[in-house]
A and B are shown apart, each in its own frame.
Chain A
Amino acid sequence: MKVGELEVVNAFFGFCTLMGNTWPAPLVPLGYRVVGIETEITSILDQNDRTVVPDIVCASAKKHHALCVDAKSSTVDKNQERAYEALEPRMLISQGVVPPDIDPSRLSNDSLLVTAREYSQKLCFSLDKIGVCLPVVAADEMCFSLSYGQIHQSELHQVFTKGIPLRGQQWPRHFVPFNSRSSIAEMVATVIRALFQLLHRGGAFSIEDIASRAVPHWDLCGRAEQRGFRDQIAQIL
């Protein structure tokens, strides 16, 4: 099983959601909830604005902490990784990324890169080379474990240092069934289902209507992501 962007996003959704004993949820006792998908956050790097788009953002009112997770391959984008490193709590607060039940004065944050285990060594080496010290979690169908750096939130650090054991066939896939980079084959079933829903309801509808039904987090997507979805759906239709 290949661990890509969507697998990482759905795994973290699962870590923050109780699902009986079908998937581990070590972030639930720490109070983490998912508060964003593909959220555009502006960071300031060398006195220039730089937007980062973490695949998933989790936050805990209990631990006064926010975690931005970005799924990576083996390559790094120097400015992007530095922008993640430069993210500060006040940016997350002012841009409405964390919910109001989190005390702004006590908020801390971490950015975490997650990659398939076979890429982790190369990614860590690349980060070292550009002088960025972001923690890296290596993932495969058996385990998520920290392979580089440190997560500042100590309990979260412990969770990933110890590793989260998994069983591949238990992997959740339907919190975020696809994103705008997914293949048409991955999207087609959900798009057809949305189309059927609209036909069942009757009346006129647009690609936007199909997209808003097919994509569970449509309202949270930035403009670029929405445009990507619309293009993919238009191709399917």
Chain B
Amino acid sequence: MNLNHAQYPGIDPQEVQTRGELSRYLDQSLSGEYVTTLNDDEFTQTSTFVKSYLVEAHSTDRAAFTTRLNQVFIQILPRLDPSLYLLYDKYNNPYFADIASPRFMALHSIEKTSDTDYTLDKLTAGDVPKFDRTWMPTQFLRGIRRGKMMGFKFGFERFVQGLRDPDSDLHLASGLPDGGRRARFRMAVSEDVTAERDYRAIQNSELFSGRKALEHIQFTAIDQKGEYISNRVYTDGKIVGKGTSIGSHLATVEAVLTSYTRLLEKIEDHTLGWVNKGNSVVHTGEPFIITFPGDLEITNLMELTRSIVRPVKPFRLLGIPHELSEERVDVEAIDLHTGDPFALEITKEWLRVYLPAGACGNVVARLYSNLQRSMHSDIQLATGDGEILFVEDGE
């Protein structure tokens, strides 16, 4: 059976020129009006999820932005609204890129998740410069929920090395091929009204110690008329919506985007550099400190560093580790998403990040949230003055 997307009688994406029309186009998916063809004369009405992906895109230079998009999308069509683009991937799936934010792009689609995930991976894997995912740590994800929490998923994968597993004598060090015996842990609660209680109970218990990093969170928000949205928000910026209110879905997208933008701005407020003061200069900023919890035993610091500073997913860093001693390794690194330089100083208790002024703060969020998911979920990120950047509510 060859399943093609049809334009009739659903809304033709080519006709969408404004945000109002985009809203109606996305809404047809929620309301089950979206139509697919099975054969030339056979239609079926389906209800799919609305997918929105938040992508750091740096779209201020429109020409450069669309050139970069062209590496993944075969068509890039401006809309009447200058902050909207209609894009088609290589499977001819339509997407709408909302670039009202100069920094982030919200990419909306109602097509098959397998296709849209694949396309987003291509766009943000690092081959196309300047595009990056969001990297929302556990505490941040918890902070963006509203309405009622209905689900969550812990996802932990030990893709860093040089550590001793706290629960066994197994050395997670050299000799383990990638993807071989990497410790993995997944635990999900879905569509459950007790999700909030379950989450808190697990967080406050000794269970799954160090592996309680969220991969996604699910909540349901209902307005006064009973219209609702059930949103699942993933750590990498994917937001899946189902329900009856497209407005609520778009409100979630906007709220997450705004919070994440503020977070990056806050990170970038602490970058290191020289500021002109009259005829003089003053050095400002401070390094970020990532502190490792006491029950995390680092057995080989150089091995740990090499497994973090790698040009592949998820860290996407290039660097030259320099072992000063068994207790200290330094790295001159490059963020492969932007080409920005930064430096790391790593000990067995903490890691300092020196981010120069002008560099993109997303690298700090990427580093921290991936360490949380691969090293220990209780590691902390703080500014030099001791402000912990991510604190879970209720703590």
Q: B241 at interface (Cβ–Cβ under 8 A)?
A: no
Q: Is A157 an interface residue (CB 8 A)?
A: no
Q: Give chain B residues whose Cβ lies under 8 Å from the Cβ of A219.
A: 274
Contact pick for B282, options A19, A34, A216, CB 8 Å: A34
Smallest CB separation, A177 vs chain B (Å): 7
Given contacts A19-B289, A192-B320, A193-B332, A169 and B277 within 8 Å (CB-CB): no
Nearest neighbor of B385 in chain A, beta-carbon distance: A18
A34 to B274 alpha-carbon distance, docked (Å): 9
CB pair B330–A173 under 8 Å, yes or no, is yes
Counting chain B CB atoms within 10 Å of each CB, the highest count among A17, A19, A98, A100 belongs to A19
State in angstroms the CA–CA spacing of A35 and B282 once bound together: 4
Question: Within residues 269 to 325 of chain B, which ones have a CB less than 8 A from any CB in chain A?
Answer: 272-274, 277-287, 289, 291, 318-320, 322, 324-325
On whether the beta carbons of B384 and A19 are closer than 8 Å, the reply is yes
Scan A19-31; emit 1 where CB is below 8 A from any B CB, else 0: 1111000000000
Q: Are A20 and B339 in contact (CB under 8 A)?
A: no
In the complex the two chains form, is B327's CB within 8 Å of A35's CB?
A: no
| Count of chain A residues near B, Cβ 8 A | 39
Q: A18-B286, A20-B289, A172-B287 are in contact. Are A99 and B277 (CB under 8 A)?
A: yes
CB–CB B334/A193 < 8 A: yes
Which residue of the partner chain A has the closest CB to B278?
Answer: A100
| Minimum Cβ distance to chain B for residue A191 (Å) | 9
Tell me if B382 is interfacial: C-beta within 8 Å of chain A: yes
Most chain B CB within a 10 A radius of its CB, from A33, A97, A98, A216? A216
Query: Which residue of A has the minimal Cβ distance to B327?
Result: A169
**Chain B interface main SS type:** strand
Interface range for B: 35 or more
Q: Is A49 in contact with chain B by the CB < 8 A criterion?
A: no
Chain B residues in 8 Å Cβ range of A77: none
A175 within 8 Å of B by Cβ?
yes
Contact between A196 and B278, CB atoms less than 8 A apart: no
Question: Which residues on the A side are within 8 Å of B283 (C-beta)?
Answer: 13, 16-17, 33-35, 175
Q: Indicate if B347 sits at the interface (CB-CB under 8 A).
A: yes
Chain A residues, Cβ within 8 Å of B281: 35-36, 99, 220
Cβ contacts under 8 Å, A177 to chain B: 332, 343
Restricting to B331-379, which residues have a CB under 8 Å from any CB of A? 332-334, 339-341, 343, 345, 347, 350, 352, 354, 356
B164 at the interface (CB under 8 A from A): no
Q: Which residues of B contact A197 (CB under 8 A)?
A: 334, 339-341
Among B284, B341, B383, contact of A194 (Cβ-Cβ < 8 Å): B341
Write out the residue numbers on chain B whose beta carbons fall within 8 Å of the beta carbon of A17: 283, 285-287, 384
In the complex, what residue of chain B is closest to A216 when comparing beta carbons? Answer: B356
Name the B residues within 8 Å of A175 (CB-CB).
Answer: 272, 283, 354
Asked whether B343 lies within 8 Å of A174 as measured between CB atoms, the reply is yes
From A13, A190, A200, contact of B339 by CB (8 A): A200
Closest to A191 in B: B332
Cβ A200 vs Cβ B129 within 8 A: yes
**A169 CB contacts on chain B under 8 angstroms:** 324-325, 327-328, 347
Q: Assess A18 versus B384: contact at CB under 8 Å? Given A170-B347, A196-B318.
A: yes
**Interface pairs A-B: 7 shortest CB-CB:** A96-B279, A18-B384, A200-B339, A100-B278, A99-B277, A20-B289, A34-B283
Knowing that A172-B287, A192-B320 touch, tell me 15 more A-B residue pairs with CB under 8 angstroms.
A16-B283, A17-B286, A20-B289, A35-B283, A96-B278, A96-B279, A96-B280, A99-B281, A169-B328, A193-B332, A197-B340, A197-B341, A200-B129, A216-B272, A219-B274
